[in-house]
Amino acid sequence: MSATAPLALPPPPPVQSDWALFLDVDGCLLDFADAPEAVVVPEGLADALARLSRALGGALAFVSGRRIVQLDALFAPLRFPSAGLHGLELREAADLAHVPDAAPEALRQARDAAERIAAGYPGARVEDKGIAIALHWRAAPAARASLEATAAAALAQLPGYRLQYGNCVVELRPAHADKGQAVQRLMGATPFAGRLPVYAGDDLTDEDAFAATNALGGVSVRIGHREPTYATHTLADTAALRAWLSEAAARLGARA
């Protein structure tokens, strides 16, 4: 991956009606919060996404580290096609989901160990995602070294797992899926097939999706200034992404 200066990347073009739009959620569509359950969906965003989805013939999906059930709760009553747990869960339509297997015992032991450490750092969080766990230190930076060491030690007991680093978080999760594979799978399904893929994300976990989107001839949009990146375009922050989407919802929705 080659480093690219933030100012060298252009903003994305206006959303077009023949696109398939894939959106990361935390740190991209929504602002980060100290705890995953504390994020806020800004007023008007769900309505804009619903109008934009209709204008795209339903070809709008979330691709997130969250579980699909969490995405549904955030945007209820809307249910978009979604990839959860970095692609381990996949719902190609509003009513069909592929759910991963149960967590191994070694992961439950790692969770318990991480929770004991987090208890000593007010603000540190252990997020149980079923088949994966996420160790958060956004509100407790001093916990980072201990939580990272716990995750690394647990990895040795979890064949087929990997460490996934993100923004103030490390996850223990199965290695057989990523966001790039999720984009590829969704692009093979109705209503995404035959459209131009466009992916927006902010984190290291989104680089696989940027690379997959580029390989399909699409548009990859980095939110923020993290480097290096495979992204071909950039927007400054979550507010800029939401404004870009709202403009598209108003423009394309008026034609639908």
Residues involved in catalysis: 24
Residue 107's contacts (CB-CB under 8 Å, 6 or more residues apart) are: 131, 132, 133, 154, 158, 161, 172
DSSP 92-126: EETTEEE-PPPPPHHHHHHHHHHHHHHTTSTT-EE
DSSP, collapsed to helix, strand or coil, labels residue 131 as coil
Cis before 228 (ω within 30): yes
Q: How would you list the strands of the sheet with 82-84, edge to edge? A: 96-98, 89-93, 82-84, 60-63, 19-23, 196-201, 219-223, 233-235
Please compute, for residue 30, the number of CA atoms within 13 A of its CA located in the half-sphere on the CB side: 25
131 is written with which tokens? 């088949």
Distances, alpha carbon 96 to alpha carbons 18, 88, 89, 134, in Å: 24, 14, 10, 25
25 is written with which tokens? 């959620």
